[in-house]
Structure formats: C-alpha cells, structure tokens
Amino acid sequence: MSNYINNKLTLYLLISSLWIPPPWLLANTTLVPPPPPIEATAYLLQDFDSGQILMEKQIHERFEPASLTKLMTAYIVFTKLRAGHIHLTDMVKVSEQAWRMSGSRMYIELGKSIPLELLLKGMIIQSGNDATVALAEHVAGSEDLFVSMMNQQAQRFGFKNTFYTNSTGWPDVKQYSSPYDLTQIARAIIQDFPEYYHWYSEKEFAYNNITQPNRNLLLWRDQTVDGMKTGFTEIAGYCLVASAKRGNMRLMAILLGATSNKTRASESQKILDYGFRFFETHQLYAANQAIKQERVRQGNMDYLPVGLNSPLYVTVPKGQYEQLIVTIQTERRMMAPVAKDKIVGTLKISLGEEVISERPVISLMAVEKGNFLKIWTDQLLWFFKKEK
C-alpha cells in the first residue's frame, strides 16, 4: 500500500511538471505590473514569513544607517531582558555622556535614576539618543563595550555589510549597514521578541512634561502598519523601516535616502501597497510535518517520514498558488541506520520555470538496523530487481 502511495505521488509530481494551465485558469490570476518608481536611494520589500524579496534597489550596498542603528541596540537590550541580566524595573542612573547627547532626545536629567522601561520607550518611540546611550551604559558598562556587542551580534546574523561605531546612529563615516541587513534585524525583533514589539506602534510618549510623537507617519495613515523605526541625518537622508500586517500576511519595507519626512512616508506606503495588492503568502508545510514516506532498506521499519525542520511559506502573485509545483528528491537507495534530523534530500517549490524556494528534507525519526532476516530479505529483493 505504501509503495502504491509513493508511486502515485511520483506520477503526480511528473504530471504536474508537464501540466500547462488552461486559459480559463490563467484568466483568474492577477497580472503583476512592474514595481512603481520610488523616490529613494535604496529600498527593499520582503515578506516576513517566506523571506522572499518582492522589490529591491541597492539592498546590499553600504549606507549610513542613521537612527535605524537603534534597531540593533533594541535587539541587544531585549536579549539581555530575556536572559534575566537586566529588568524593566531597573533604575538606570543618567551619566553625563548620556545627558549631553544632542539630536533626538528624551530630555532625561543628569544624575537622575530612571526606570529602564521608560528609557526603552524613549529610544523606540522618540528615538532619544540620550535614552539610547543610557541603556547601552547600563547593559555593558560603557557605550564602547555595548558597540562591541552590537558588532558581535551582527556577525552572528551573518551580516557582511554592517558595522557599528555607536549605539545611536550618530553620523560616523565608519558606521554602515545595508537595506537587507537592517530588514533582517527588524524581522528578528518581531520574531524573537513579540512581547516588546508593541512599543513600535505607539504614536507618542511623554516624559518630563514633554510629549513627543512617533516620527513614523504611517502609524497615522495606515492602520495595518504597526512599526517600526525612522532615521535621519544629512548624509543618510530620511529613512524608514516599516512593518504592516493585513490578514495573515506581513510585509517589511525599508527605504533609505528620501528627501523629506513626507516623502519617506508616501514612498514607503507605495512599496507596501504594491506588495499587498499583487502578492499573497501561504504556508505549505509546518515544521516536522510528514511530507512523504520514504522507503528504507535493511531497517527495523520499511518507511521513514521525511519533512522540514521549520515551517515553509511561499509568496506568489495572487491567483497563482494552485500552479505551484512541489518536487522532492531524496537518496535513491536509503539504507538503515538513519539518524533523526538527518538531511536526506531536497524539496523545491517552483512557479513556472522559477524555483522560488529550496529547502533540505530531513528524517523525522530514527530508523535502526533491522534483524538478520530483514537485512537478508532486502538484499535479495535488491539483487533480483524486485525493488528499484
């Protein structure tokens, strides 16, 4: 029965690869126009779940990150909170270095002790440079040591185009990042620290009798936007990382080098609208879901469930989900023993001639060596060509 199922799956995949959709089905698909022109130096549109890039310009080039630097600062602070090394209730004493910071400020007072949670809000909502330095000093003892932690985390992420010299994004020709790297930090914050992400959607924050608005204008213009961070320097221009969720689909948009606050908001809105209007995201498989039963020889069981070690999402033009082709290639003759989580093949998802996702297929359980009779029987079947 299992052989029958596998043969039917093989036949289905073969037929699917040769199938040409009829005109009536193609008529129901959404035609995807080219991306709109964007007034910015660089930009990127990426689906949060699938990771697929839908729009891009100079995404791996190095630029001054301005206050988008504070995304990495926040990630480090969140990591220390999760580990229990610091707490939201910690009272953080304001140093002279933090107090003297200019640019965007929370207006904290020299020598005063402030709850860490308020400093986080001041950094995230108001982009306060003074709050940011106070946080860095509290976590690492000095901003310089905190910056070394930022660069270590950038290396853990595998970034090739990011280097930090300060925690705030204060202008420095030696500090740089890329649109791609910055987007991945933003995605990591949402994925790894959902309990803190809500601060990025708050529209204003008051401290010391001063109320300041969040500079992300999209929070007022688009109810589906729930973050994340703005930035500006004379060299970097107006920058924004924006995240929006409509239905079950979340998109991340980054824009660097706009000429004004108004422009960065309107152009980022164009990027997000393009993605939501013409694309859709689906989960194909869950983590550790059995996708196929693979034949195993000389083991204590005949078939091994195989799947993926993490969920698989794909983003496709609207109406083209049914045209996806799934191809699974595994070892031609799998022999026991097989360890759990061993890579045993490759899964490819194609749309037309384009491979849009490729993932390693793993064994979902272990298969031990069979007894003498099982080994001898499988050898005979192989020898007499009863099994391929």
CA dist., res. 139 & res. 124, Å (int): 17
Catalytic residue among 104, 127, 167, 178: 127
Is residue 348 annotated as part of the catalytic site, yes or no?
A: no
Tell whether omega for the bond before 21 is within 30 degrees of 0, i.e. cis: no
Q: 44 CB contacts (<8 Å, ≥6 apart)?
A: 53, 55, 56, 57, 59, 179, 180, 183, 252, 253, 254
Distance CA 295, CA 386 (A): 14
User: Phi and psi (nearest 5°) for 228?
Assistant: -135, -60
CA distances (Å), origin 124, targets 119, 221, 361: 9, 19, 40
Q: Is 227 exposed, middle or buried (0-12, 13-18, 19+ CB in 10 A)?
A: buried
- From the number of C-beta atoms within 10 Å of its C-beta (0-12, 13-18, 19+), residue 129 rates as buried
Per the CB < 8 A criterion, the answer to whether 54 and 276 are in contact is no
Q: How far apart are CA 109 and CA 122, in angstroms?
A: 13
Contact 143, 129 (CB under 8 A): no
Give CA–CA dist 116/87, Å, rounded: 7
Q: Which of 50, 70, 178, 363 is catalytic?
A: 70
Annotation marks residue 127 as catalytic:
yes
| Catalytic (active site) residue 363 | no
Catalytic one of 67, 167, 177, 178: 67
The SS3 of residue 21 is coil
* 46 Rama class: left (phi>0) / alpha (psi -120 to 50) / beta: beta
- Would you name the residues annotated as active-site residues? 67, 70, 127
